[in-house]
Amino acid sequence: MSFATPLFLWYFMPAVLLAVLATPRSWRNGVVAVASLVFYAAGAGATTLLLLGCMAVNYLAGPALEVRREEPWRRRRPLLIAVVGIDLAVLVVWKYAGFATQQFANLAKVFGADLAVTHLALPIGISFYTFHHISYVVDIYRGERTAQRNPVSFIAYIAMFPQLVAGPIVRYREISDQLPQQRTHRLDDIAAGFPRFALGLCKKVIVADSIAPLVDACFATHGADLTFGTAWLGAIGYTLQIYFDFSGYSDMAIGLGRMLGFRLPENFARPYSSVTVTEFWRRWHMSLSRWFRDYVYIPLGGNRRGVARTYRNLGIVFVLTGFWHGANWTFLIWGLYHGGLLVLERRMRWDRTPAARGKRLARRALTMVLVVFGWVLFRSADIGEALNLFGHMLVPDFDGVSRTVASAATNQRVVLLLLALVIVVLPTHPVTGPFIESSRSRGAMAVRIAVMTVGVVYASILVAAGTFSPFLYYQF
């Protein structure tokens, strides 16, 4: 089930909100837990059992991982390693077994052998709920939070349907104080959360889904039909599509969470306004960046043990970031590409010079171009396709675009693509989502009214017409 479908918008979401408002406070986590499992089962089917099994292991381990004066950390550490190992093993087997066996099969063919390739259906949201589980047990082990004794509240945290299948990644420390059964929940939360949800719906349905066919046509173009214009149109189009799709999902998730009485962390802060790639990663998918910082980068030593180890730690983090997104060499190279850019920025320190600080517009343009090239790697089916696109992007010609791309470039799609481009090049502040959710200014009120009237009506018409495509991050 997706947020941008008639079943969710007109039946599931209203029913859950009414149930939360109508039940006593002590029952509300139960409503969220049940609704979340139903939501997940509707899309995941039998693999829901995998989610339930992982939740059982981490829930049962929680109390044993708590800090106790009479028990040294060395006695708890083997249990932590075992539980995190189980979580990672589930992720590796279900997400990477096919990729790994395919590589072994390719190598075996060189020597004339024939090996079988494993094919497993990827459970929806496995990358996200695995990181939630690891956050839970590590935060308890570190003594930052106590274990959750109430199984219903634990299920509500892990399986909470707004963020279960595509984030944001909610660390346990960020939400543990919101899980008590007696937390407050008022109509004000729905009034504040719905505009945020509506903004995300407009981003996804009106912008991302509208330009998706144009992007698909560009990336499907090969051979003599692939031109300089087609390559750049596809690259820029995908740069806009993935932002409006994923940030739209995050806005919808944060808005839904607020309507249910939870405050979920922000996930985007106008990333395309960054003047360095380092700043880009502080603004793009922020919950993922924070997770890797707190549970990988800092435990490895961060930047405290010399320059060489800092670069090594950054490399490890971005290799994992790349592979976290998918089992494909393109994701690995994409991660190495961004990690290399961060190392280069640290090494050169050019952004800290007076001359560099005075060239913000040029630096922002350069960062945008570097990010666009990265998205070509991310979107391409394989390395060969990415290299082919890079070759055409770097060699100008005057051949225009192919007939297929021209037919996909309808007036509506071109206008929306240009509008999206204008939006992303606007100044850094304000960040629209938090602005319309919390601000009481006239500007925020005007945006809220526009989104909840014209925007929602138009998006609803598109949803009813069946123009929906799945959220891009569902595949991760």
Residues 80-112 pLDDT 10s: 999 999 999 999 999 999 888 888 888 888 888
Predicted local confidence at residue 431, as pLDDT: 79
Does 160 share its domain with 194?
no
Q: What mean pLDDT is predicted for residues 405-420?
A: 92
The chain-wide mean pLDDT, for the chain, equals 89
Catalytic entry in 132, 133, 325, 338: 325
Instruction: State the Cα–Cα distance between residues 219 and 217, nearest whole angstrom.
Output: 6
pLDDT at 187 over 60: yes
Does 104 share its domain with 218?
no
- 34 CB burial (10 A radius; 0-12, 13-18, 19+): middle
Does 203 share its domain with 350?
yes
> Where is pLDDT greater, at 211 or 473?
211
Does 236 share its domain with 123?
no
The string of pLDDT tens digits covering residues 222-261 is 888 899 999 999 999 999 999 999 999 999 999 999 999 8
Does 217 share its domain with 318?
yes
Contacts of 39 (CB under 8 A, 6+ apart): 1, 12, 161, 164
The string of pLDDT tens digits covering residues 301-347 is 988 888 889 999 999 999 999 999 988 999 999 999 999 999 999 88
Does 204 share its domain with 111?
no
* Position 413 in a domain: yes
For residue 325, indicate whether it is catalytic. Answer: yes
* Position 475 in a domain: no
> Where is pLDDT greater, at 69 or 54?
54
Q: Which two tokens stand for residue 269?
A: 């802060």
Instruction: State the Cα–Cα distance between residues 369 and 372, nearest whole angstrom.
Output: 5
Among 134, 155, 184, the domain boundary falls at 184
* Position 98 in a domain: yes
Does 151 share its domain with 201?
no
Instruction: State the Cα–Cα distance between residues 212 and 214, nearest whole angstrom.
Output: 5
- 231, 456 Cβ separation under 8 angstroms: no
Task: Give whichever of 55-64, 396-405, 437-446 has the largest mean pLDDT.
Answer: 55-64
Among 164, 184, 204, the domain boundary falls at 184
pLDDT-derived band at 51, boundaries 50, 70, 90: very high
* Position 476 in a domain: no
Predicted local confidence at residue 159, as pLDDT: 94
Among 129, 155, 184, the domain boundary falls at 184
Angle, CA of 341, 346 and 347, to the nearest 5°: 95
Q: Which two tokens stand for residue 108?
A: 């075996």
As a whole number of angstroms, the longest Cα–Cα distance in the chain is 75
Does 260 share its domain with 404?
yes
Contacts of 365 (CB under 8 A, 6+ apart): none
Instruction: State the Cα–Cα distance between residues 192 and 262, nearest whole angstrom.
Output: 12
Does 271 share its domain with 155?
no
* Position 103 in a domain: yes
Q: Which two tokens stand for residue 320?
A: 């994992």
> Which has the closest alpha carbon to 57: 93, 86, 95, 34?
86
Q: What mean pLDDT is predicted for residues 405-430?
A: 89
Q: What mean pLDDT is predicted for residues 63-71?
A: 79
Instruction: State the Cα–Cα distance between residues 292 and 295, nearest whole angstrom.
Output: 5
Range of the domain at 37: 6-184
Does 407 share its domain with 296?
yes
Number of separate domains in the chain: 2
Predicted local confidence at residue 21, as pLDDT: 87
pTM given for the model: 0.92
* Position 286 in a domain: yes
For 307, other C-beta atoms within 10 Å of its C-beta total: 11
> Which has the closest alpha carbon to 258: 174, 150, 162, 125?
162
- 351, 341 Cβ separation under 8 angstroms: no
Q: What is the CA radius of gyration of the chain?
A: 23
* Position 26 in a domain: yes
Instruction: State the Cα–Cα distance between residues 476 and 473, nearest whole angstrom.
Output: 5
Handedness of CA 409, 412, 415, 416 (dihedral sign): negative
* Position 1 in a domain: no
- 87, 58 Cβ separation under 8 angstroms: yes
Does 15 share its domain with 89?
yes
- 126, 90 Cβ separation under 8 angstroms: yes
pLDDT-derived band at 472, boundaries 50, 70, 90: confident
Does 416 share its domain with 306?
yes
- 380, 331 Cβ separation under 8 angstroms: no
